[in-house]
Amino acid sequence: MPFELDIGLVSRAGRAPHNEDFAAVQPADDHTRVVAAIADGVSAGGRGREAAQTSVASLVRDFFCTPATWEPTVALDRLIGAQNAWLHGINRRRQPAYGLTTLTALVLSGQSFTLAHVGDTRAYLLRQGQLEQLTDDHVMGGTDFAHRLSRALGLEDRIAIDYRQGEVLPGDVFVLLSDGVHNVLTPRQIARRVGEAGGAQSLAEHLADAAWQQGSRDNLTALVVRVQGVQDATLDDITRQAQALPPLPLLQPGSVIDGLHVEALVADSGVYRVYRVYRVHDGRSGRRYALKTLHTQRAHDREEWAALAHEAWVARHLQTGPAAPHLVRVHTLAEVALAATAVPGESALPQPVPSPSASASASASASASPSAFYLLYDWVDGETLAQWLARRHRPAVVQVVSLAQQAARILGSLHRQGVVHRDVKPANLLCGPDGVLRLLDLGVALTGREPAAVRALHAGTASYVNPEQWDDPPAPADAGSDLFALGVTLYQLLTGRLPYGEVIAYQRGRYWRDPVPPSRHNPQVPIWLDAIVLKAVARSPAQRFETAEELLLALERGAARPLALPAPSPLSVRDPALGWKLACLFSALLNAVLVYWLLFLPR
């Protein structure tokens, strides 16, 4: 969802002979990022206007040419630093100086803002009636030097830039002013006029008019950005919000956290205990949720925080796509509060919560801020396929094929959106009471935006990891890794066994033999399904399905268009050490002949 902004801009010469201020606003083509900047040229050399205009124009023009992977502070630092070096180089060669300028730049991205500031232009934020000055003036101290700049673009070869970042909420008003306006208007007067004015353009004109009426003798420039609706949270937003929150302590049944009542601890992951999952219910609506948080032993590991924040971002990114019905929906605490308001007293299975309006979202964000870092997922009753296997429940072949088709559709949707799950297994496939298969746990998913620690992790459950990930060096996980894991899951559902046997965690898998056809263990499995399963779990990537859509098509065609059974692998392929074994056998036989010749044959 793009930003919804109301923008106003006024720049006048006022009582000064020339207007040396310059301001501009530039949105991205998709309106998901916006850059606004204001500059006040210094006229000692007579070229302050050119310095201000080139600084603002180059910034708003070039910002969207920087790589999308750069943080806003990195992009601003590179661009402003380059402009400063250019201005300083000209000023050093020309006398009098070409020009100096102040600069205040605002970047809105996702649900956060980034402010870069040099000089004595100012930025204010009006939020819920409270006006906050976001910048500090870079001027020399003392009455005599009150308007002498201590920092400006072009003044020195290197520039120190002040940065500030924060959250953006609907209803926020950002006001950027030159010193001709803010030197004569008090913060109280600015806040009062923001409250009185209607649109952003009207507010900008009111501020310039008020400064004129109060005798300002400088240029009058006001740039107003009123936020009416914010974009969906970016990964940077979620990570920043997560790292600003404290860790969640160990919870006991009966504990209450942010209005959520803990019913039970339902999962405590693995030996290293990275995550805990609780079943909780909202005291206002009675709805159940799954609360996922870091284990207390890992709560101070910032890489784990970034990984959990990445999971939240992936879950929200996918819940509006075609795979949404097959994924468990993640909620913010504000959405939980809105759901409780919309359906008071409801205790049925939670349904997807519609996106709130801008004003409702702002109110909920203000009143429902989490006290610690955790994720809230819908709680869905049902059983995982691992629970089926644990109680030795072997589903009918028709049901297994239906589940495999749903899983292939889910993975196909994820892969088309550039997401690799990396941990497909029965424990992460939940069959709900509505018969819909859901894929759980996006904690180690790859998106291209995942933290480096997540990318470097040899993720997945060992018995479901494709053979090439055990190579040295290991092949990176990709969409084929998910399809291999799904094939192993399908084999296990049909036979109750793993195609290559149990692989011990953190040890190299052994793929020395071809899997036994599932029909050998389960006579109800038809031959056409044998071919599909064996192709899915083939040891060679070239023999497997290339895409989830190819696997789905084979399952839908079934016996109508059966696949050929894969040819058995040669012995030399099944046993790479065969040559060494034969050499050892030949050496042993030769030694035996030599011993016999030395001991028993006449000389």
For 527-560, what is each residue's pLDDT tens digit?
Answer: 999 999 999 999 889 999 999 999 999 999 998 9
For 5-44, what is each residue's pLDDT tens digit?
Answer: 999 999 999 998 889 999 999 998 777 789 999 999 986 5
For 336-385, what is each residue's pLDDT tens digit?
Answer: 877 776 554 443 333 433 333 334 444 444 446 788 889 999 999 999 99
Give the percent of the chain with pLDDT over 70: 88
pLDDT of 58 above 70: yes
Q: Is the dihedral of CA 530, 533, 538, 542 positive or negative?
A: positive
Residue 238: other Cβ atoms inside 10 A: 24
Number of residues that this document lists for the chain = 603
- Cα separation, 222 vs 313, whole angstroms: 36
The pLDDT value given to residue 79 = 95
CATH architecture of 236-378: 2-Layer Sandwich (3.30)
Strand order in the sheet with 122-127: 4-12, 220-229, 173-177, 122-127, 130-133
Tokens 């263990």 sit at which residue?
521
Fold annotation for 4-231? Phosphatase 2c; domain 1 (3.60.40)
> What is the secondary structure of 432-493 as a DSSP string?
-TTS-EEE---TT-B-SSS-HHHHHS--S-GGGS-GGGGSSSPPPP-HHHHHHHHHHHHHHH
Domain boundaries, the chain: 4-231, 236-378, 383-569, 577-603
Backbone angles phi, psi at 288, to 5 degrees: -95, 145
- pTM here? 0.65
Catalytic annotation present for 423: yes
State the average pLDDT over residues 506-522. 79
Active-site residue among 179, 218, 258, 423?
Answer: 423
- Would you call 333 helix, strand, or coil by DSSP? helix
Tokens 């071919």 sit at which residue?
531
The pLDDT value given to residue 96 = 62
The pLDDT value given to residue 508 = 59
pLDDT of 188 above 70: yes
> Is the CB of residue 149 less than 8 Å from the CB of residue 119?
yes
What tokens were used for 508? Answer: 């190299």
For 100-146, what is each residue's pLDDT tens digit?
Answer: 999 999 999 878 899 999 999 999 999 988 899 999 999 886 544 45
The pLDDT value given to residue 359 = 41
State the average pLDDT over residues 198-214. 92
The pLDDT value given to residue 603 = 64
> Is the CB of residue 159 less than 8 Å from the CB of residue 84?
yes
pLDDT class for 294, splitting at 50, 70, 90? Answer: confident
Fold annotation for 383-569? Transferase(Phosphotransferase); domain 1 (1.10.510)
- Cα separation, 230 vs 63, whole angstroms: 20
